[in-house]
A and B are shown apart, each in its own frame.
Chain A
Amino acid sequence: MRWINRRPRRGAEMLLLCLPFAALVAAYLIGSAIRLDANPADKLLPSPAQLWAGIQRIALMPDPRTGEWLLWSDTAASLMRLAAGLGIATVIALLLGMAVGLLPYLRASLGAFVAFLSMVPPLALLPILFITLGLGEAAKICLIVIGVAPIMTRDLALRVHEIPREMIVKAETLSASTWLIALRVVLPQVLPRLLTSLRLQLGPAFLFLIAAEAISADAGLGYRIFLVRRYLAMDVIFPYVAWITLLAVLADIAIDRLRSRVFPWSDLERGA
């Protein structure tokens, strides 16, 4: 049989799913063992016991100097920034994207402008943000918004524009005004796409968050990584990276669950 027609069975599928993860862990353990064997004081690839000690120090006991539980206070600070940034970006994308996608006048004036804005490299704007907005939360949240809002807006405007003209005309023959078409025909059809777009922007949002925190912050996941980098504290950096990845994966799954729960028809359409 051709390889394109061979499918794994359920058990084999689980095995194949776990395989790359197991390979990654094995590669780390082997590398770590080889390095520690050559030099027991090596800090680059700490052993599982050293990693566990690091995790205990940051997650399971308060910091002796500040009395804070570092991992949790860092997570709270970062997630607040991330939620604020993504929330603002989503609202902007929804309003602007629908308006640009639906109204020819706005498309004529703003369409190219949004495309232009989405090409500005956000990290190059970071110094400007720190200078104008100061070193507080506003600059970090603003960086996330600037980084993801233009792309989400463009994506949504394209999606609105892709809605078949027939459907819009049909709504007109059902006596809908521009406002009602936006509210009852276009909005519900693009909301699932907005959630998917949000999922795809989680990665960039984390990138901008960590970049901003690395430069100036007093708490946050990115801040901690770049702080302990000075001491080569890989036993903290590795768990933090894993934790950030886990948070992103969970957010991704949660948003997709939300989409198929709230918009059950969007799964049906995909299958059709």
Chain B
Amino acid sequence: MSAISVENVWKEYGDQVVLENLSLQIADRAFVALVGPSGCGKTTFLRMILGQERPTRGRILLDGQPLPPEPGPDRGVVYQRYSVFPHLTVGGNVMLGPELRGARLTGRRFGAARRRLADEARAMIAAVGLAGSEDKYPAQLSGGMQQRLALAQALMMRPRVLLLDEPFGALDPGIRADIHQLMKRLWNEVPMTAVMVTHDLREAFTLATRVIALERLRDRPEERERYGARITRDISIWPPRVAGQRTSFDPPEGAEPPL
């Protein structure tokens, strides 16, 4: 079964061709890393899966169904910045999704439903390592903690697909290694497919089951406008990583992450 299927997708802005005839099958539970030079359309591709932008030609299917033309709860997202809401506490941010889904008029839960949700949120907050910070505002958290919060907030919706747009790009190496451990664990435990855009090859090969490189093959000035980026490399990680299983190359749980 294929979770995401990309069929002959082109993206053009006016005369500018950005992506050229992409075709791609992403397996269920895969963790795909998209790499490539700046401006090659990685983020554009991610936005198309997200539904924030539409392909000029071609189509994208999610579990065999055409993607709805706008973002929805089946596809979660974590951006490098602006992923969490500054006016809500950590707890409020994590509870927001289920609250919005459950109360279509007020967007708020009350009474027993709220207490149940708060328990669920506390468990999720603990799972990403933010226990004890429930009442802090995002501005009081470090960059790494904010990204942990963004992951928790997105995972509360149990998305089919989690999209990550350079989520750890702004973090220090040490913090980044910690959050990679978390990301691996979450991907193993939560039944989701992940697609991550990154410019960090080490990160791509640390986390992904498959690394896909986008690149403009024709990049002379006079060609730049009429030729977009294509898939130039499609590497499956060996030994294969399978969600929910560990490979012999992974460090044991709780070990110091390799830098």
Do A and B truly interact? yes
A180: chain B residues within 8 A (beta carbon): 100, 104, 107
Q: Are B107 and A176 in contact (CB under 8 A)?
A: yes
What residue of chain A has the Cβ atom nearest to residue B163's Cβ? Answer: A173
Q: Are A177 and B104 in contact (CB under 8 A)?
A: yes
Assembled-state Cα–Cα distance A271/B100 (Å) = 29
B107: chain A residues within 8 A (beta carbon): 176, 180, 183-184
0 or 1 for each of B40-65: is its CB under 8 Å from A? (1 = yes): 00000000001010000000000000
Q: Are A169 and B71 in contact (CB under 8 A)?
A: yes
Please judge, given known A-B contacts A167-B85, A189-B87, whether A172 and B70 are in contact too, CB under 8 Å.
yes
B50: chain A residues within 8 A (beta carbon): 169, 173
Please judge, given known A-B contacts A164-B82, A183-B107, A185-B85, whether A174 and B139 are in contact too, CB under 8 Å.
no
Pick from B105, B153, B157: contact of A175, CB under 8 Å: B157
A268: chain B residues within 8 A (beta carbon): 86, 137, 139-140
Please judge, given known A-B contacts A184-B107, A188-B87, A189-B87, whether A167 and B72 are in contact too, CB under 8 Å.
no
Q: Are B100 and A174 in contact (CB under 8 A)?
A: yes
What residue of chain B has the Cβ atom nearest to residue A271's Cβ? Answer: B139
Query: Distance in Å from the Cβ of A202 to the closest Cβ of chain B?
Result: 25
Assembled-state Cα–Cα distance A198/B114 (Å) = 35
The count of A-to-B residue pairs whose CB atoms sit within 8 angstroms is 83
Interface residue SS majority, chain B:
loop
Mark out the residues of chain A between 140 and 195 whose CB falls within 8 Å of any chain B CB in the assembled complex.
164-167, 169-177, 179-180, 183-185, 188-189
Residue of B85, B104, B108 with highest tally of chain A CB at under 10 A: B85
Q: Are A173 and B72 in contact (CB under 8 A)?
A: yes
Q: Are A170 and B75 in contact (CB under 8 A)?
A: no
Pick from B79, B86, B108, B139: contact of A189, CB under 8 Å: B86
Q: Are A173 and B157 in contact (CB under 8 A)?
A: yes
Q: Are A174 and B73 in contact (CB under 8 A)?
A: yes
Q: Is B154 an interface residue (CB 8 A)?
A: yes
A184: chain B residues within 8 A (beta carbon): 96, 99-100, 107-108
Please judge, given known A-B contacts A169-B77, A172-B70, A175-B97, whether A265 and B137 are in contact too, CB under 8 Å.
yes
Q: Is A243 an interface residue (CB 8 A)?
A: no
Q: Are A170 and B100 in contact (CB under 8 A)?
A: no
Pick from B70, B83, B88: contact of A166, CB under 8 Å: B83
Assembled-state Cα–Cα distance A165/B70 (Å) = 13
Q: Are B86 and A174 in contact (CB under 8 A)?
A: no
Q: Is B101 an interface residue (CB 8 A)?
A: yes
Q: Is A37 an interface residue (CB 8 A)?
A: no
Mark out the residues of chain A between 250 and 272 whose CB falls within 8 Å of any chain B CB in the assembled complex.
263-266, 268-269, 271-272
Pick from B77, B104, B139: contact of A170, CB under 8 Å: B77
Query: Distance in Å from the Cβ of B135 to the closest Cβ of chain A?
Result: 11
Assembled-state Cα–Cα distance A129/B76 (Å) = 53
What residue of chain A has the Cβ atom nearest to residue B157's Cβ? Answer: A174
9 closest residue pairs by CB, A with B? A174-B97, A268-B139, A172-B71, A166-B82, A175-B73, A164-B82, A184-B107, A175-B101, A188-B87
A-B contact pairs, 11 of them (CB 8 A): A164-B81, A172-B71, A173-B72, A173-B159, A174-B157, A175-B157, A184-B99, A189-B87, A263-B87, A268-B86, A269-B139
14 new A-B contacts, CB < 8 A, other than A171-B85, A174-B97, A176-B100, are A166-B82, A166-B83, A169-B77, A170-B79, A173-B50, A173-B154, A174-B101, A174-B153, A175-B72, A176-B107, A184-B96, A189-B87, A265-B86, A271-B139
